Structure 1
Amino acid sequence: MDDLTAVRELEADVPALSDDARSAARVRLQHAIVQEGRPSGLPRRLLLRVAVAGTAAAAVAGGIVLVRQDGDANTPRMAALSAAQLLHKAADRSRAAGAGMPIPRNDQYVYTKTYITRTYVKDGRTKTWTDESWTSVDGSKPSRRQEFGKIHNDPPLGKHEVMWPPTKYAELAKWPTDPDKLLKLLRMDSTGAMADMSAFTNACQFFVVPRVMPPGLEAATFEAVAKIPGIRMDHQAVDALGRRGIAVSYPKNDFAFIFDSKTYGYLGVRLTGSTADLVDGKFKYHDWYHEMRSLEAKGVVDRIGQRP
């Protein structure tokens, strides 16, 4: 039996790949073979089996997801999922998850539980926190915010206090849920690459500070980000709770969204930061770190200290 016949027989056990997926997987496999060399004493047929299985595994590791092609539910194929397609799936997931969530009253609180890991670049040391916060829906009541383990009892929001994007539910309810209109707002009416970067950062800010998103706004945010040119994916992301996910980021931006690799549900945000000191009128940055903020629980409650 020749090698090609052996490969065809062995490949019968592996779901068929698209041409793009096969090419990408073959490059990864060839690189791995060059790095490792042929194992001593490994039979040629077994090496072929490892190669075929490795091709499929490399495709999955490279971000290939199982989808149906040509409308035939009986013929699964492996196809690449783009960052925009992933965000649209995340939007669908958000709408489905929020369909039964009641609209909060102004006298209620947003409860969030967030798990944070921070790893410092210089020495690799890691810190972790589990933060719980109760935020007044309309800002008229005191809130309790836990930030990196420290509890802050915040007074009611002042009438002239400015925060963007806003945290008040009534203010967010005025925001458009049409992705095109929302993207324009996130770009702050500017254009070009810097506007795209600002739009991506502003979209991530929705999820950094606890807030209740009105119906459809979270999904619209993901769909707006899907329209930003240059967004990309990292298929090997793991959030702070150890959940496997896919990151969506923008080049040279310090933020990234993390979505569940199976359900496409939102898991958290990844960011790069540092400590800044003002010296002689200029900021000096030091203690750079990588941080993961994973959303563990979220809900609407009637009082501070209550959990959903």
Structure 2
Amino acid sequence: MDELTTVRAWDAERPGPSDEARTAARARLEAAMARESDGAVPRAGRLSRRIVLRTAFAGLTAVAAGGAIVVLSDGDDHAPRLEAVSAADVLRRAADRSRAAGGDLPVPRDDQYFYTRTYTIRVPVKGGPPRTWTDESWMSVDGSKPSLRQENGKIHHDPPLGKHEMRWPPTVYSELQKMPTDPDKLLAQFGGNEKAPGTDVMAFFEGCMLLKGPNVLPPGLQAGAFEALSKLPHIRLDYHDSDVDGREAVGVSYPKASFTFLFDRRTYDYLGLRTVGSSPKKINGEWKQVGYYYETRTLKDIQVVDRIGQHG
């Protein structure tokens, strides 16, 4: 049996990578080999053809398992290398990035507000002109005061929370501070450790709702959420994606879930959350969901302020 036959037979039952993934991987491989052949890469930094092929083969195996082949440069554009990255890897690196970034916000007082400015773009699934909104919200830190929340251009005046009123995800900062930042404990709170059918996709949904905003998360909670979701099976990676500003991104989603996290391809900064939505319409006396669209939200600014209307 020749080597190619052995390769084809190895792990033959696993679904292969998509045509798009194969094409992208092949293009990156050819680009790296072309740079080597053309002498664009200094001899000391060149990748041997055998190493490039071996790395590409390993990367294609990772693609079949839900990963992607990523070209990284380590700050040197003349020394490309190939690396296999999975959806779980992206979430863990995003968690590390979130912890490293920390937060510049002062510790808020209970009588203050969180001001957020969010940019939203909605694109019809079947094509058509996009719609955009820039929304501003002022959320009471402890929930004891009325809040003003703007969503897709519509203003909502939220009354103060009742003494025994509970919301999920929490909108009160002190309640968010009580949530665990340990990934395993947070995943359990999302319901991801249960064995019942459908609990994993619901856990992914709970994590998305927590990170959607306009809530302001205490230090470590965003990172803990990313790491918690990285433990879910079947999360998948879309390497070819972009955010509302057109920045190249990787997307992390879950089968049958309508949410996709977007991260910067090189830095793993969190860029925003895309959802698949629709609008209700009454047709022949029945309400139906029509007009499906992709909606992407990106947080543009966040401040701690003393009153509604203040921008920091």
In which range does the TM-score fall when normalised by the shorter chain? Answer: 0.7 to 0.9
Residue equivalent to 1:34: none
**2:58–2:84 CA contact under 8 A, matched in 1:** no
1:243 alignment counterpart: 247
CA distance in 1, matches of 2:175, 2:80: 45
Distance change (3 Å), C-alpha of 1:193 and 1:9:
same
2:309 aligned counterpart, secondary structure: coil
Task: Please report the TM-score for the alignment, with normalisation by the length of structure 1.
Answer: 0.76
Q: Distance in 1 between matches of 2:136 and 2:159?
A: 17
Q: Is residue 210 from structure 1 mapped to residue 244 from structure 2 by the alignment?
A: no
CA shift in 2, pair 1:23/1:177, >3 Å: closer
Structure 1 pair 67–242 and aligned structure 2 pair: CA distance change class (3 A): closer
Select the residue among 102, 108, 112 that pairs with 1:108: 112
User: d(CA) in 2 for partners of 1:127 and 1:228?
Assistant: 33
The CA deviation at 1:21 is 2.5
Q: What are the Cα deviations for residues 4-26 of structure 1, in whole angstroms up to 9, with x where unaligned? A: xx97960654663362535768x
**CA-CA distance at 1:114 after TM superposition:** 0.9
**Aligned mates of 1:251, 1:113 — CA distance in 2:** 30
> What secondary structure sits across from 1:167 in the alignment?
coil
Q: Which of residues 37, 53, 57 in structure 2 aligns to 1:10?
A: 37
Q: TM-score scaled by structure 2? A: 0.75
Structure 1 unmatched runs, 5+: 1-5, 26-61, 69-74
Structure 1 residue 173, shift from structure 2 partner:
1.1
Quote the Cα distance in structure 1 between the aligned partners of 2:167 and 2:193: 18
Other-structure match for 1:307: 311
After the TM superposition, which residues 171-186 of structure 1 pair with which residues of structure 2 at under 5 Å, given as runs?
A: 171-186=175-190
Q: Is the 8 A contact 2:71 2:80 kept in 1?
A: no
- Is residue 127 of structure 1 aligned with residue 154 of structure 2? no
Q: Secondary structure at the match of 1:273?
A: strand
| Equivalent position amino acid for 2:301 in 1 | A
Moved more, 98-107 or 268-277: 98-107
Amino acid at match of 1:286: V
Higher mean C-alpha deviation, range 247-256 or range 91-100: 91-100
In structure 2, the partner of 1:21 is 56
CA distance in 1, matches of 2:261, 2:206: 12
Which residue of the partner structure matches residue 152 of structure 1? 156
Unaligned ranges ≥5, structure 2: 1-32, 61-67
Instruction: Quote the sequence identity (%).
Output: 51
Contact 1:145/1:153, CA 8 A, preserved across alignment: yes
Is the 1:270–1:291 Cα contact (8 Å) retained in structure 2? yes
Q: Distance in 2 between matches of 1:196 and 1:78?
A: 31
1:78 and 2:113 matched: no
Alpha-carbon distance, 1:276 to partner = 2.8
- SS of residue matched to 2:215: coil
Task: Name the CA shift for 1:63/1:143 in 2 (closer, same or farther; >3 Å).
Answer: farther
One-letter code aligned to 2:54:
D
Given that 1:207 and 1:268 are in contact with CA atoms closer than 8 Å, whether structure 2 keeps it comes out as no
| Distance verdict in 2 for CA 1:265–1:24, change over 3 Å | closer
The residue identity in structure 1 corresponding to 2:123 is: T
Deviations 1:232-259 (A, max 9, x none): 1112211112222111111121001111
Whether contact under 8 Å (1:67, 1:79) holds in the other structure is: no
Aligned residue in 2 for 1:64: 70
Deviates more, 1:144-153 or 1:134-143: 144-153
Give the total of aligned pairs: 262
Residues of 2 paired with 1:7 and 1:289: CA distance? 40
- The answer to whether residue 246 in structure 2 is matched with residue 219 in structure 1 is no
Structure 2 CA distance for aligned equivalents of residues 281 and 160 of structure 1: 39
State the secondary structure of the residue aligned to 2:198. Answer: helix
4+ long deviations beyond 4 Å: 6-9, 22-25, 277-283
CA-to-partner distance for each residue in 1:254-285, whole Å, 9 max, x for gaps? 00111112221111101101123588997521
Equivalent residues of 1:240, 1:294 under 8 A apart? yes
- Paired with 1:9 and 1:181, the residues of 2 have a C-alpha distance of 48
The 8 Å contact of residues 253 and 259 in structure 2, kept in 1 or not, is answered as: yes
